[in-house]
Chains A and B, each alone.
Chain A
Amino acid sequence: MSSAVGARGPAWQRVLRKLVVYMLIIPGAILMAMPFVWLVLSSFKTLEEIVLFPPTFWPKSPTLNNFRQVFQMIPFGRYYMNSIYTAIVPTVVSVATAAMAGYGFAKYRFTGRNTIFWIILSTMMVPFPATIVPLFVMVSKMGLVNTRLGLIIVGLSSASGIFMMRQFVMTIPDELLDAARIDGASELRIFTQIVMPLCKPALATQTLFSFTGHWGAYIWPLIVVNSDRLRTLPLAIPYFSGQHYSYQNLISAASLMAILPVLVVFLFTQKYFVQGITLTGMKS
């Protein structure tokens, strides 16, 4: 429906439509962005200013000191690198396996298809307090406590990723795949050269979600990591919190620096939200 809004009708109608869209979208956008804006501004405030209530808007005496202090007090750079590793590897693996599995569940009929799919879906429904300790004991018996593999092993595949890819792949017409089969393409070729290109928005979305999730993972890394060598950003930021007060200014500066890669990934994946998939050779 994208071009439908812009392209049709007399000019004044087009302008009115765009105006309506803006009027509806902007108030929401302000509310959505408010905490983030406050985060950005807080990164430049001093501790005394930041504890004031009600909060001030612009920093009274803006300072870059917070950023400097973050790096001084903790090995922030190393934590950053650790986060990059523990986010990228599981993201790549889980998106790839989700795409494959989603395709398998969507476009094939095979024995056990529904059973396996529902088993996967069901495991999403068990609350984490029931499974976190057995999971940790299992990982510990495998000798993976405080190791990189132990950190990423729980993120190598994602049930919701498999589910989502399945739903997206389902929208691809079967005729397309059959035509390719008649042309002699192997199953793998069909997957890589026909299905995947059509799933670009889904793959981009899943990459974004997977990265966002792994980047911000807290509970599992908290339990598994016992040394600075492996510590990731979400574990590092509570360093500035205490029981009775926190260095909210440093938390803000650190959090801001920690959010940036996710925003970068967002803007990067938005490129793949390209409208218009031409489907030639289709019977209609």
Chain B
Amino acid sequence: MAVSREKQLSNGLYRFQRKVAPYGFILPGTAFYLMVTIVPMFMGLWMSLHRWNILRTRQTFIGLENYASVLTNPVFWEALKNTLIYTVGVVPVQIGLALIVALLLNAEIRGRTIFRLLYYLPVVTPLSIAAVIWQWIYHPQMGLLNAALSTFGVAPRNWLGDPKIAMFSVIIVAIWAGLGYKMVIFLAALQGIPESYYEAAMIDGANKLDLFRHITLPLLRPTTLYVFITSLISSFQVFGLVNVLTGGGPLDATNVLVMHIYRRAFSDYQFGEASAMSFVLFAIILVFTLVQWKVMGREVSYD
């Protein structure tokens, strides 16, 4: 019977099923997704080659002129710099902290579900409400942060109003806002690591650090790659959080690229330039992602 089963496996029908199955599995998700992203994306690319006034029906083709003016515009580079600072400031710290919190809340301590909920709260708290609290924390005269620092003798600062430190303040809020999200992902991934691996290693004499370095971290790698890449992609495109905290100020210190793009499009009616900037940003994100993938994407064998 086993023999005929294996014969069955090399049977054409099964081979056909195995060949077709993947397309069947990826079809709905891919189709639904690309249907609402590919066409608009190419349309946006087309817009970037024009001086595009959204109110008109005919537009002027100007080729790569938008790209040239964008790449020579100091405001663009300034916004890109702000975005890079933001990304570098947020991504590693947020992910590191989220992993630590996930490890701590994976332990069997009492009330861990409640703690997990508390850490997830910033993800669901509306940005405008979070902004009210953080503006209070950061208030130069009556804010909590300055009050706390004054007990250590540290001078008060204008956290959101001083161009030199505004971005730092925003980064802290960004880490706060997204940490719970990454934590949940890490928690889910930690569930997938079989207990038996740890037990076997401990029998072999491994200590806590060894367990972490040789079992947990490697087995988390696919998840960590996902978290890093999606964090990178979304940090480069941050908009809402900065908009509601500082509006891009003071003096454009927190003017991130997507904010600038949005303003050029919806306030200044320059959709062609905005699209061009969007695709320059796209190229930058793509390069970073590819590099990240090469560095972190080593596949792990599971046995």
Contacts and interface: CB of A to CB of B under 8 A. Distances in A.
Looking at A96, A129, A188, A282, the one whose CB has the most chain B CB atoms below 10 A away is A129
Nearest to B116: A270
A18 B156 CA distance: 36
A104 B191 contact: no
B275 interface: yes
Interface stretch (B25-33, B67-75, B85-93, B157-165): B25-33
A249 to B, nearest CB: 12
Contact of B33 (A36, A38, A157, A274): A157
- Closest 3 interchain pairs by CB? A104-B25, A101-B29, A134-B43
Nearest to B119: A32
Contact of B278 (A24, A38, A126, A170): A126
Interface in A169-190: 170-173, 175, 181-184, 186-188
Given A32-B179, A35-B122, A120-B30, 4 more contacts: A101-B30, A167-B223, A170-B299, A275-B195
Nearest to A39: B129
B143 to A, nearest CB: 8
B124 A216 contact: yes
B208 A104 contact: no
Interface string A118-162: 011111111111111111011000000000000001101111111
A205 interface: yes
A104 B26 contact: yes
A70 B39 CA distance: 40
Contacts of B38: 119, 123
A6 B17 contact: no
Interface of A: 1-6, 17-18, 21-22, 24-25, 28-29, 31-36, 38-39, 53-55, 93-94, 96-98, 100-105, 108, 110, 113, 116, 119-135, 137-138, 153-154, 156-164, 167-168, 170-173, 175, 181-184, 186-188, 191, 198, 201-202, 204-205, 208-209, 212, 216, 237, 248, 251-252, 255, 259, 262-263, 266-267, 270, 273-279, 282-284
Looking at B6, B33, B104, B193, the one whose CB has the most chain A CB atoms below 10 A away is B33
Contacts of B82: none
Contact of B222 (A21, A167, A259, A273): A167
Nearest to B144: A54
Interface string B119-135: 11111111011101110
A104 B200 CA distance: 32
- By secondary structure, the A interface counts as helix
- By secondary structure, the B interface counts as helix
Contacts of A108: 18, 21-22, 25
Interface of B: 5-6, 8-9, 14, 17-19, 21-26, 28-34, 36-41, 43-44, 47-48, 54, 100-101, 103-109, 113, 115-126, 128-130, 132-134, 136, 139, 142-143, 176, 179-181, 184-185, 187-196, 198, 200, 202, 208, 211-212, 216, 219, 222-223, 225-226, 229-230, 233, 236-237, 239, 257-258, 261-262, 265-266, 271, 274-275, 278-279, 281-282, 285-286, 289, 299, 302-303
Nearest to A55: B136
A130 B181 contact: no
A270 B113 contact: yes
B9 A182 contact: yes
Given A129-B258, A209-B181, A53 B142 contact: yes
A130 B113 contact: no
A116 B104 contact: no
A43 B272 CA distance: 44
A129 to B, nearest CB: 5
Contacts of A127: 237, 257-258, 261, 278, 281-282
27 contacts: A21-B107, A28-B101, A28-B119, A31-B176, A32-B118, A96-B28, A101-B28, A104-B22, A116-B26, A120-B33, A121-B289, A124-B233, A125-B286, A127-B281, A131-B37, A131-B43, A133-B271, A138-B36, A159-B33, A159-B37, A162-B30, A171-B219, A186-B17, A187-B17, A191-B25, A208-B184, A277-B194
B262 A129 contact: yes
B107 A266 contact: no
A170 B230 CA distance: 17
Contacts of B100: 24
Nearest to A163: B226
Nearest to A164: B226
Looking at B38, B107, B257, the one whose CB has the most chain A CB atoms below 10 A away is B107
Contacts of A97: 28-29, 32
B18 A212 contact: no
Contacts of A160: 230
Contact of B192 (A38, A96, A171): A171
B286 A212 contact: no
A273 B39 contact: no
A53 B121 CA distance: 24
